[in-house]
Amino acid sequence: MANTPDRTRVRLANLSSRAYEHPADRGALVALRSLRGFDEVFKRLSGLFSERALRLMFLSSAVKVSERQFPEVYDYVRDAAYILDLDEVPELYIQQNPRPNAMAIGSSKPFIVMTTGLFDLLDPEEQRFVVGHEVGHILSGHAVYRTMLLALIQLAARVAWIPLGYIGIRAIVAALEEWYRKSELSCDRAGVLACQSPEAGKRALMKMAGGSRLAEMNSDAFRDQAKEYDRGGDARDGLLKLLNLIGQTHPFAVVRFAELDRWIEDGSYRRILNGDYPRRDTDRDASVGEEARNAANSYKESWERTTDPFVGTLRDVAGSAANAGGKLFDSVADRWKNGGGRGGDSSSDQNQR
């Protein structure tokens, strides 16, 4: 067991979460962070779910990772916090549950839960990837903003008998679910930055799709499978893929693999390890309009890569949406900053990033 953080990996000092966030995730987060006091509203909303009660539940029913319990996993979370430059090492709990899953919970003091189903599925380097993924959620502040999605899902269930109210809320939920899926792509990147083994990240995603028998799988064939899914067949397949996403908060494993592989291959991963990344102390200077344009352009680029005939009809829309959306967000952000949004200070600790 290591007594100090693993310094064989590159530490990313003062790393801004913007370095690894998917453009669609980053655009939403930069917009929210720019609204002074808005994060405090979300934190108060998260109180509805009683973070303290959740922590007590896992403290009483799961195993708290420490130097004496699951010591290797304890090292992984300490190393991830050290490499991604998180101020505090989050608590991690191992929960008896055969379903492979991991999650970051809470806003004031987030903690991580990993099920035995996922722990037993992965080798040590793949476990590092998953721990880094969850630490990435904490660094980005996703737990704070995901509270809104949970609240709206509960509200949608309560007003399902009111047709117009339900339709309106479901539209918002669908948009938040799309952001949620993009936040998962962001944190796959954070996981690779933490473990600094791209192959471990890819293996973990393959196992989430096909189970523990990795010897029966092939990364090149899995990549080809992703291309086959992306191509689709005719417009009906494109529509069905869209419908399959309804209610899904996580991208499908084959999509996550392809996105992570593309991010690594385009040189982004190596540039960050070489020190070319945005610093945390420049987060306040990020342009909401620019990030909105980047988000829209990322969708346009993904549509241009695909040969799916269904999404082909959407390509031209994204370009104009990018510029219009950027101007709109700039205007709203300026009005909030200079007007009624002076209520709270969004300065910040790692949980608000």
pLDDT over 50 at 346, yes or no: no
pLDDT at position 35: 54
In the chain, the percentage of residues whose pLDDT exceeds 70 is 62
- Coil, strand or helix at 173: helix
Q: Which of 51-60, 197-206, 317-326 has the lowest mean pLDDT?
A: 317-326
Q: Which of 36-40, 83-87, 111-115, 343-347 has the lowest mean pLDDT?
A: 343-347
pLDDT at position 341: 46
pTM higher than 0.85: no
Confidence of residue 95 (pLDDT cuts 50, 70, 90): very high
pLDDT over 60 at 254, yes or no: yes
Phi-psi region of 160 (alpha: psi -120 to 50; beta: other; left: phi over 0): alpha
pLDDT over 80 at 104, yes or no: yes
Q: What is the pLDDT of residues 47-63, one digit of tens each?
A: 555 678 888 999 999 99
Q: What does DSSP assign to residue 141?
A: T
In 3D space, the residue among 103, 84, 74 whose CA is nearest the CA of residue 1 turns out to be: 74
In the Cβ-directed half-sphere of 38, how many Cα atoms lie within 13 Å?
18
In 3D space, the residue among 20, 288, 28, 286 whose CA is nearest the CA of residue 146 turns out to be: 28
pLDDT over 70 at 193, yes or no: yes
CB 49 within 8 A of CB 150: yes
What integer best gives the mean pLDDT of the chain?
Answer: 78
Average pLDDT of the residues in 178-188: 88
Residues 6+ apart with CB under 8 A from 132: 76, 80, 83, 84, 190, 191, 192, 193, 194, 195
Average pLDDT of the residues in 271-299: 79
Average pLDDT of the residues in 230-245: 74
pLDDT at position 177: 76
Sequence ranges of the domains in the chain: 17-286
Q: What is the pLDDT of residues 12-32, one digit of tens each?
A: 999 999 999 988 777 666 665
Work out whether strand 102-105 and strand 111-115 pair parallel, antiparallel, or are unpaired: antiparallel
**How far, in Å, are 73, 192, 286 from residue 280 at the CA level?**
27, 19, 10
- Coil, strand or helix at 311: helix
In 3D space, the residue among 115, 112, 118, 116 whose CA is nearest the CA of residue 77 turns out to be: 112
**How far, in Å, are 48, 166, 172, 175 from residue 156 at the CA level?**
16, 6, 10, 14
Q: Which of 135-139, 304-308, 311-315 has the lowest mean pLDDT?
A: 311-315
- Coil, strand or helix at 112: strand
Average pLDDT of the residues in 301-322: 54
pLDDT at position 2: 45
